[in-house]
Chain A
């Protein structure tokens, strides 16, 4: 798409942001057709190696199979908050990774991170007072998969992983929280928004 047309399309999206008032059915239809009918701007300079590194395997999505194996192998009866059917569907749609963004109801949530060549991983968040000693993650076998389970109440929770006791890192696949002057990013998980799943 020529640069000028791409700019015009972007300006229409921004115009939508500037416009006021709730959407009527008619305007919704107009917006849908207007924006969807125009070709997408073509610009990508993909690096084939960006995916390398620590990969999130949070319970939703891509680790549905791994979660099932874990549950079966370790005798964990039920991963509350793990919508396996939805996970399987999402895995088919987005097989690269399974971001953990929302779980339908309060209960035990399993966090999982694939972190090769590290000696420890801890889960920190508002649910454990951000204490790196509170929730150490367990390595599954001799591999690079680390998991931890925590009880989460309904609401919005922030969390991060602490690698080898010092490297603070957000969940690679989950929504990010805003950067704070503390300098380190964290991730967000929503609990109890049933309609989201």
Chain B
């Protein structure tokens, strides 16, 4: 009898233990939102946040997006649309990048999707760099698109850089190069092309003649 009586209690205790962190997170998120949004908008944002949490998606960016909207005095409906859009993008990013992806990769991927980068670009980047972080690559891609580089050119440039073995440092430097040229008045697409070319040239020169594929034709 004792054993029977204890079993449901153990199950209940385990369930409570398992549920507590998520509940605490949810309560904390709700409190932060209620301080800045009206009760109805806050509750509707929390529905999206809780659904994302159940799906195993990062939720901090959703709360942050709602608070960002509140700080920018956006309309409540606009805030809800943006939070929902970001939640969907997080799910898409995780599908495209793989379920083993780091949280920062998923968040960066979602930003790229929101910027207009298609999901297959994310999948191609992952295929080109399966074992290393894509966070910086995705941040650079998002930045290029945000600065007016046409999306196919931006995706092609970042993908080419990654496939050529470009490191995160190389990508950040390419971004700075592109940014600098745009600031000086260059067309964004041309700036991205020159940024990529500079990266590729640097990698070639760093490798030296010994590393060059002497027997392979360029085309």
The residues of A with any CB-CB pair to B shorter than 8 Å are 9-10, 13-18, 20-23, 26-38, 40-41, 43-47, 50-51, 93-94, 96, 99, 101-102, 124, 126, 129-132, 154-156, 158, 168, 173, 175-186, 188, 190, 192-193, 195-197
Contact = CB atoms under 8 A, between A and B. Distances in A.
Given A9-B193, A131-B67, A178-B115, 6 more contacts: A43-B190, A156-B111, A178-B114, A181-B78, A188-B143, A193-B168
Interface residues of B, number: 82
A40 B212 contact: no
Contacts of A184: 72
B81 to A, nearest CB: 7
A17 B179 contact: no
Most buried by B among A14, A30, A132: A14
A118 B217 CA distance: 58
B88 interface: no
B124 A17 contact: yes
B57 interface: no
A44 B78 contact: no
Contact of B213 (A20, A29, A175, A180): A29
Contacts of A173: 179
B146 A178 contact: yes
**Main SS class of interface, A:** loop
Contacts of A179: 115, 146
Nearest to B192: A13
B218 A175 contact: no
Given A9-B193, A13-B156, A126-B61, A190 B135 contact: yes
- 8 closest pairs, A vs B, by CB? A17-B156, A126-B64, A178-B115, A23-B163, A196-B168, A175-B143, A130-B71, A176-B146
A77 B36 CA distance: 36
Given A17-B156, A124-B71, A182-B78, A190 B104 contact: yes
A9 to B, nearest CB: 7
B114 A17 contact: no
B184 interface: yes
Nearest to A173: B179
B196 to A, nearest CB: 7
A132 B67 CA distance: 11
B139 A190 contact: yes
B218 A37 contact: yes
Contacts of B32: 129
Given A34-B219, A126-B64, A190-B139, A182 B193 contact: no
A135 B210 CA distance: 53
B60 A126 contact: yes
B165 interface: yes
Contacts of B159: 16-17
A197 B135 CA distance: 13
Nearest to B202: A36
Most buried by A among B114, B163, B165, B185: B163
A131 B163 contact: no
Interface stretch (B4-12, B16-24, B44-52, B125-133): B125-133
A101 B65 CA distance: 20
Given A20-B124, A35-B200, A10 B135 contact: no
A10 B212 CA distance: 24
A44 B142 contact: no
A111 to B, nearest CB: 17
Contact of A188 (B78, B124, B132, B139): B139
B153 A130 contact: no
B81 A130 contact: no
A188 B111 CA distance: 10
B128 to A, nearest CB: 5
